[in-house]
Structure 1
Amino acid sequence: MESSSSAGNSSSGSVPSTESTDKGPLWEYVTKISKTSEKGGTWKFECNFCHEIKQGSYSRVRAHLLQISKQGISTCRRVNNDNLLEMKTKDTEYENIKTNAAPRDVPLPSGGLEFQNTNKKRKSDLSPLARAFDTETRTQLDQEIARMFYTGGLSFNLARNPYYMRAFTFAANHNLGGYVPPNYNKLRTTLVQQEKANVERLLQPIKDTWKERGCQL
């Protein structure tokens, strides 16, 4: 069975496994063959232990080598206990570094996280008018929205978009306890597909007239 040192060496002519864009330590235990797309981190690779050809991002490489099942890729059966311990140690160190380097919550001008924990206590000190309009909660929401603009590099012109106002007005006027906004993947897949289908449906009556009246560009 291959040792960890031999498994970590890439064969000649392969793409280097330590590119700056792929920092995961377990890349050194596979040989990259080709990138499947210009964007993203999906590669076609060969496992340096079992020599099977696989395809996927770093998460798939990790699942294959660390023998994590049900991750959309088969686990490597040629990794011995010493190899597994070595890779798990490197993986743990890498995950700890990522966790420590992650951005930390910065308190908002109104008090941020402390405001959330002491909200009930502070309400008792407010005037009847302030309690009626819940001004502190409104202030915190304004600051949360503003920080989304600042940290995301969003144009202030977005605030003039009618759908920006419409979205928050809808949320404020409906009881949506536990609601979580759509994430990155849902925005770029499910929701954009639904919007595309909706636009196509709305355009269909116009397209149907093209056969009779023709279409000019």
Structure 2
Amino acid sequence: MATKKRSFPVRLIKLLFRLIFYFLLITLLWVGLYAFVPPPVTATMLMDENGITKDWTSFSNISPNLTRAVIAAEDGKFCSHDGFDREAIKQAIERNRQGGRIRGGSTISQQTAKNVFLWQGGGYFRKGLEAYFTFLIEKIWGKKRIMEVYLNVAETGIGTYGAQAGAQRYFKKDASELTKIEAARIAAALPLPKKRAVNGAGGFTRRYGNTIAARINVVDNEGLDDCVYS
């Protein structure tokens, strides 16, 4: 008796479940590997026409001033949220509805997920993947590892990636030796590292850097960095 062939919808469903299974398996292994191994390169680095200058350094060798500066500048709720600042997201959506320059509500966790596993640019598909990888790194890596990776892969200048490369380029010193104002200048340039000068910063970048430098003490005094230093 001949075996009855499965219908096309059934085969399609089986293929879909197989693809989902392999996607989950590969991404879990990928995220799990990077919980211990430094990401060797990112899509952003590979697509940078200016080349790549980077020098991975452990979290213990990065000045707390820089950690506190990026928390002050990028994500004051880093230690208290689960990877998503829902209030900031709602505010960003409301601002974008009103027109003008599009702004996001990304946390440091979301930026890390995007920088390490994905590509720059928008789109709902990429944002969906970003949310998925953010959830994974929050659960698998934890806050300290997220901050360590972020400070090593974030673009700190033209063709320059990470705290150590940025500190060497701008201040000719190790990342462990950054002062508050130096750390604040790097943090001030992070959103637009190809356009905002760190050395000899003037205008908005200088003013914003001074504001961040003042907030460093607030982050320290209010324990907004407890999840990485406790």
Instruction: State TM-score, norm by structure 2.
Output: 0.23
- Greater Cα radius of gyration, structure 1 or 2: 1
Give the structure-1-normalised TM-score.
Answer: 0.24
Q: Which one scores higher on RCO, CA 8 angstroms, separation ≥ 6?
A: 2
